[in-house]
Amino acid sequence: MSFRETVRVLPHRTMRSLFISLSHRRSLARLAVRSPLTRPVVARFVAGETLDAALPAIVALQNAGLRTTVDVLGESVTSPELAAAAVERYLATVAALSARGLDANVSLKLTQMGLEIDRDLCRNNVMRVVEAVETVNGFVRFDMEDHTKTDATLDIWRAAHDRYAQVGVVIQSALRRSSADVDAITAAGGRVRLCKGAYDEPSGVAYRTKQAVDANYARLMERLLLADAHPALATHDPRLIARAIQIVEREGIARDRFEFQMLYGVRRDLQRMLIDRGYRVRIYVPYGMEWYPYFMRRLAERPANVGFMLRAVLHEEARRLRGR
């Protein structure tokens, strides 16, 4: 059986677990980033490795009627200096977006701000970004990472939201706790981006089947829409999108009271269909050198490009070994 055939017949959950695991392999990250063979595939999901490279993509999206939120790629930094550098990249991004009249809307991960080093360090770094966003009347969303970071992320979100209302947070329908979290966030006047979740979580804290994750997403989505909580519905699932439209039309919910969100480079057909029907669509636009973990999670969610990516990385490793 060929490599491509092997990839195709592996169960989806096995593939997901494999690529989530690989996303933490720093040695593979170094190989992937150096290899020119990965770039055509990565370019589908990542707007560029620098801010200057990403800005034309952001402009093109907004010219096409799409809104954007920008993610400066990076996570799980290992020193205060790396966290400080990430803050500076966000400050430069917010300033550049505002100066060009683009959406001053960014998304960030707390481990990139130093959460795994020191919580106070992380909070201080986050507040620097929030202050910059507040200065230009923008919006910042805290991405949710694996379940071990949920409580800390929500605690820092509350502190930031108390300072500036335009700070949102992500909730994952894969987690069993998310129903209670949605209630607490909406009660505090917070805004939720609802997604399914891109991490391979244990069964004690997460639903392990697609059916259960989807069912919980549908329940939480309806609750957020009916609560008039300005939710961001982050999904590429046509069935869930159709369900959202059904609720909106049945309840007479104005189209400026929610938005759909999708990833850069994923389901452009759905993006266009929703825009043409008058719905708001925001695209999550990542850029930066630290694209490897993000990209591997995209492969875990959508294995169509798995074969190409793995062959490229393995080819680069074989060349390295031959050159010893």
**Quick one: pLDDT at residue 312?**
47
Question: What structural domains does the chain harbor?
Answer: 1-46+303-324 (no CATH), 49-290 (3.20.20.220)
The pLDDT value given to residue 3: 41
Name the catalytic one among 71, 103, 143, 214. Answer: 143
Catalytic residue flag (residue 143): yes
Mean pLDDT by 10 residues, the chain (324 residues): 45 55 55 60 84 97 98 95 98 98 98 98 98 98 97 98 98 98 98 92 94 97 97 96 98 97 91 97 94 72 53 54 63
pLDDT for res 293? 75
pLDDT at 45: 86
> Which pLDDT score, from 0 to 100, does residue 297 have?
72
Amino acid at 61: L
Three state DSSP letters for the chain: CCHHHHHHHCCHHHHHHHHHHHCCCHHHHHHHHHCHHHHHHHHHHCCCCCHHHHHHHHHHHHHCCCEEEEEECCCCCCCHHHHHHHHHHHHHHHHHHHHCCCCCEEEECHHHHCCCCCHHHHHHHHHHHHHHHHHCCCEEEECCCCHHHHHHHHHHHHHHHHHCCCEEEEEECCECCHHHHHHHHHHCCCCEEEECCCCCCCCCCECCCHHHHHHHHHHHHHHHHHCCCCCEEECCCHHHHHHHHHHHHHHCCCHHHCEEEEECCCCHHHHHHHHHCCCCEEEEEEECCCCHHHHHHHHHHCHHHHHHHHHHHHHHHHHHHHCC
Catalytic annotation, pick one of 16, 67, 141, 193: 193
pTM of the model: 0.84
